[in-house]
Structure 1
Amino acid sequence: MRPPDPLRPPVSSQLSFRTVRIRLTAMYSGLFTICGTALLAIVYWLTGRARPGVVIVDRPWPAPQMARAAMDQAHRQEMQQLLTRSAIALAIMIVVSIVLGWLVAGRVLRPLRTMTATIQQISARNVHERLAVTGPRDEMKDLADTVDGLLGRLEIALNTHKRFVANAAHELRTPLTLERALLEETLTDREATLESYQATSERVLAISKDQARLLEALLTLSSSERGLDRREPFDLAELAREAIESAGLEADARGVRVTRRIAPAPSAGDPALAARLVANLVDNAVHHNVPDGHVEVVTEMKAGRAFVTVVNSGPVISPERVGRLFEPFERLGGRSAHDDGHHGLGLSIVRAIATAHGAGIAAHALPGGGLAIEISFPAHLRPQVPERAPV
Structure 2
Amino acid sequence: MRLRTRLTLWYGGAFFAAGAVLTTVVYLIVRSRIAANLPQPGESLEALVQARAHLGMTEEQLTDLIDTVIERQEAANAATLQAVLLGSAFALGVIGLLAVGFGFLMAGRVLRPIDAITDTARRVADRSLHERINLRGPNDELKRLADTFDGMLARLDRAFEGQRRFVANASHELKTPLAINRTLLEVAAAEADAGHRVRGLAANLLAVNERHERLIDGLLTLAGSDRAPADPVPVDLADIASHVAAQFAHEAAEADVAVEVSAEEAVTAGDAALLERLVANLIANGIRHNRPGGALAIATAAVDGRARLTVVNTGPIVAAYEIDALFQPFRRGEGRDRIESVKGVGLGLSIVESVARVHDAALAAVPNRDGGLRVTVEFP
TM-score of the superposed pair, with normalisation by structure 1: 0.48
> Of the two, which has the highest radius of gyration?
2
More helix by share: 2
